[in-house]
Structure 1
């Protein structure tokens, strides 16, 4: 059994994001830690804020924006991270289209259209339409717990995120990169890019799955994680 696991969610997500995976984690880790991804408009600051609480040695499972934060932790404490999992994440700086879309989202939130934005985002995050009715209520619950003010900070942190490609070649721990083929939020090529630049990376592609892979294909994610963390 491993000792410490840090879970890093994406934007508009709380620890409930992992509710279908938590049994797997508890079987394989003694301590499970959750990172707070609110209250900051900087990926670097989010990582720095966690440093005083970081265990001596630990593994990371991260999702989407959480992958940016996980990579940033390597900048500060590379020798303390034993295993890394990134689900539907990337390392590159956002392209101009990506920055524009997120800036547009900031403007919509500031105009009081948070509800509209939440509904639009989550419909685009789940590939299989028949699963939306079961998943979207939880996504909305988490989104409203995060709230519009924190969401603007999260969007700003992604807009201003620096290029992380130089970090990738420095990662030496075992790394599992999971990408969903039907992800309309995070392009598959960003996962492929990471896998090509991290020495010990394994890339797994989920068929017929959208961005919220932990919820849309929870059994497959659990299978991958069980096998990955098996001693």
Structure 2
């Protein structure tokens, strides 16, 4: 995995010598890493350069973990600058969506388009903050394996866990690749993130909203609310997918993404 200060990243380039049609930057979910986006690297076959940043402190990275979504956002912007990317379609899933919205808040000029997958603009509720605090205690006392056991039933649909044990183990492996410190940092970042609801009406770039029909963490109703708030946004609800829709239904996710990149951007 190549690195450009301060982040490592996955990259896929179009085949042949043609210049890419543009760049797609995809920010990963909690508590995973950039490798969750490996199925989406195939978007390069549609002529796009695909970059999947590995957020700070994740998957063995020795840098201190970020403690806010703004820090994560700044790191991704710095990576884009380092790679000479002046504009891109930027997107993320779940926590990656929080980072995407933070990037837009600070640097909207980088956005050729936006992808918001299985995410929400709202800050955590008081009950949500208490849940994060319990998760912080869990990871500090019992480590990443306890977090994996807690998260898997939430982020994967019942059908996926029942019928695709290989996917369940892949997601578990992505969680276990992260240190206690990086997981705790991400929890703190999510717990303290600002509310981005008022930001939605200022998004004027082409926007794709994706959500799994069986997402219990960020249900489709939240994505429908985002579509109404963002002028001209496209909403795709993916059947038979839970919170990690890009991993449960990669073909359908990629088809929606390719259609958006080909016809809206």
Query: What TM bracket, shorter-length normalisation?
Result: over 0.9
Find the counterpart in structure 2 of residue 124 from structure 1. 154
Q: How far apart, CA to CA, are the structure 2 residues paired with 1:47 and 1:147?
A: 20
Deviation digits for residues 170-219 of structure 1, max 9, x if unmatched? 11100000111211222333222221211121111122321111111111
- Worse-matched range after superposition: 62-71 or 113-122: 113-122
Q: How far apart, CA to CA, are the structure 1 residues paired with 2:262 and 2:231?
A: 20
In structure 2, the CA distance between the partners of 1:62 and 1:169, relative to structure 1 (3 Å rule), is: same
Q: How far apart, CA to CA, are the structure 2 residues paired with 1:221 and 1:147?
A: 29
Deviation digits for residues 65-109 of structure 1, max 9, x if unmatched? 000110111112212211111110111111222222221111111
CA contact (8 A) 1:192 1:203 kept: yes
Find the counterpart in structure 1 of residue 88 from structure 2. 58
Q: Does 1:94 align with 2:124?
A: yes
Which residue among 62, 72, 78 is the counterpart of 1:46? 72
Find the counterpart in structure 2 of residue 25 from structure 1. 44
Q: How far apart, CA to CA, are the structure 2 residues paired with 1:37 and 1:138?
A: 21
In structure 2, the CA distance between the partners of 1:112 and 1:215, relative to structure 1 (3 Å rule), is: same
- Say how many residue pairs are matched: 231
Deviation digits for residues 28-50 of structure 1, max 9, x if unmatched? 31353525254101001111223
Q: Which structure has more RCO (C-alpha within 8 Å, separation ≥ 6)?
A: 1
Query: In structure 2, the residue corresponding to 1:229 is in which secondary structure?
Result: helix
Q: How far apart, CA to CA, are the structure 1 residues paired with 2:40 and 2:54?
A: 16
* Unaligned ranges ≥5, structure 1: none
Q: How far apart, CA to CA, are the structure 2 residues paired with 1:37 and 1:186?
A: 24
* Unaligned ranges ≥5, structure 2: 1-19, 58-64
Query: In structure 2, the residue corresponding to 1:111 is in which secondary structure?
Result: helix
Q: How far apart, CA to CA, are the structure 2 residues paired with 1:77 and 1:197?
A: 20
RMSD: 1.8
CA contact (8 A) 1:26 1:32 kept: no
- Worse-matched range after superposition: 221-230 or 22-31: 22-31
Q: How far apart, CA to CA, are the structure 1 residues paired with 2:186 and 2:228?
A: 27
Aligned ranges 1:74-223 → 2 under 5 Å: 74-127=104-157, 128=159, 129-223=161-255
Q: Does 1:228 align with 2:260?
A: yes
Q: How far apart, CA to CA, are the structure 2 residues paired with 1:227 and 1:94?
A: 32
TM-score scaled by structure 1? 0.92
- Worse-matched range after superposition: 81-90 or 35-44: 35-44
TM-score scaled by structure 2? 0.81
